[in-house]
Structures are given as structure tokens and as C-alpha cells.
Amino acid sequence: MFTRVALRLGFTLLAILLPACVFADPVTGTLDITGGLSLTGTTVDFLPTGGGTGTILADAFSNTGTFAVLNSGNPAAEQSGTIYDINLATAPSGAIFITGFSSDPDIELELNAISPGIFGTSSCGAAPAAGQTCSPALSPLDLVNLPAGTGFDTLVSFGFSGTAVNTSTGETSPFTGTLSTQFAGPYQQLLFDLATSTPESSTFSATITVDGGDGGTGGGTTTAPEPGSFLLLLVGLGAIGLLAPLRKFRNLQSTGR
């Protein structure tokens, strides 16, 4: 009687725990987005301006992994989401960054860090020339002068990182990304505009890569422990313990003891 009750309890626990193992679904893959922004020396205000958020469009074809559901297959009907404005002068520390995709509302990206600029300041004040690079002091912006007709355009980019969250399961995965935009004129002109609090507007593109596995680095989801293998191990050990009294009972019956 005790053994049957114990076995029934064990299978009940298995039925409860298996869904957590089977449906574990950390965010993975790459997300390609486009939108518009207004840039100042300390802020990235995603269009439309004001309100603290902007609208982004997911690429119609190139998203992978969890983000593949955003591939509409129609460049004229790209799926939209919400992106939160960035203050370049303060650490973001887990603030919500991207959310609101209707095809997968469980996706949420939180911004943890903005990477420092990589080019240095040595050419920031030089006369404009093709191929020049500049990262202003205390700024994450990386600037490059590109030839454009008889003049120049400025390529602006910065790196960022954070945490991708599946809000339905609570699972988290690290991500990295790069945002790029372009302005008419050399970066020397852009730096003057930003220093005089003149906002500059343009379109942008960004690629975000989420590592939902170990990625060869031993990283992966930060929820602990991994539900699949850990819970199955516990259930398996429990089943072994529950079956032991049954084997003992049958052995006693066969020996007449």
C-alpha cells in the first residue's frame, strides 16, 4: 500500500516538473532592427522624439533563433517594437531597452552597459580627411569620416550589452549589439553641433546577438540551475528511491519471509 502511494506521488511530481523541463526556452539568435534617432552629446532620442521611447522595425528576413518569428517576409510590413531612449552620460544598469513585439511579446531586452569608444581623441580636432577616426573624450561614440562626393559623411557607431529575458519563463541570456548611423558632413562638424546642443537626426540600424547557450565561453542563461537536466536528475533519483521498497517487498515474497 505504501509503495503504491509513493509511486503515485512520484509520478505526480514528474507530471508537475516535466513542463518546466520541456518548455524551457531561453532567448537566442540575432535581431536586426532599423529606426530613426535624434543625437545630442549625451542622449539618443529614438524617433518619434519625446516621451522616452521610439519605434523600431525588425528586418523582414534576417532574424534568427527566437527572433525568427519576427521575419514577416515582406519588407513593406516589417514588425514593429518599442525601443527606450538612452542617456549616454549615465550607466543604464538593467533598464528596459527593447520590447513590444506583437509576434513574441515575451521577448524583453534590458540594457546593462554601453561600451567606451575605441578610437581615441588624437584626430578629433584635425582637419577633415577621409578615413579619420575619433572617439570624443568620455563618450561611447566612434566616429569615422567617409568620402561622399567632394566632401564627407560621418559614420557614427557604439557598442552595448545587456540581458535578454523570456518574460514567460524568467530565463535570461547575455547579448551584445552595435548601433550605426550616418550624418552628412565630416565628424568635425558633427562634434561642433553636439557641443552647441544642436540635435542631429538620422536613420539607424542595429544588430543584436544573444548567446542562449554556452557560446563556447561557458556562459549561457543566468537562471539557475538549468531546469531540464537538473529537475530530471532529481526526479530520476526520487524514482530510484521509491522503487527500492517495492523490490525489497517482492524479494521478501519470493523467499517467503
Q: What's the distance, Cα to Cα, between the start and end of the chain in Å? A: 18
Q: What is the pLDDT of residues 127-168, one digit of tens each?
A: 999 999 999 999 999 999 999 999 999 999 999 999 999 999
According to the model, what pLDDT value does residue 244 have? 47
Q: How many CB atoms lie within 10 A of CB 40?
A: 15
* DSSP structural state of residue 93: T
Pairing status of strand 133-134 against strand 142-148: antiparallel
According to the model, what pLDDT value does residue 257 have? 53
* DSSP structural state of residue 229: H
Residue 204, C-alpha cell as written in the block: 539607424
Residue 237, C-alpha cell as written in the block: 533519483
Owner of C-alpha cell 564627407: 152
Q: Write the CB contacts of 136 (distance below 8 Å, at least 6 apart in sequence).
A: 117, 121, 124, 143, 191
| 251 pLDDT higher than 80 | no
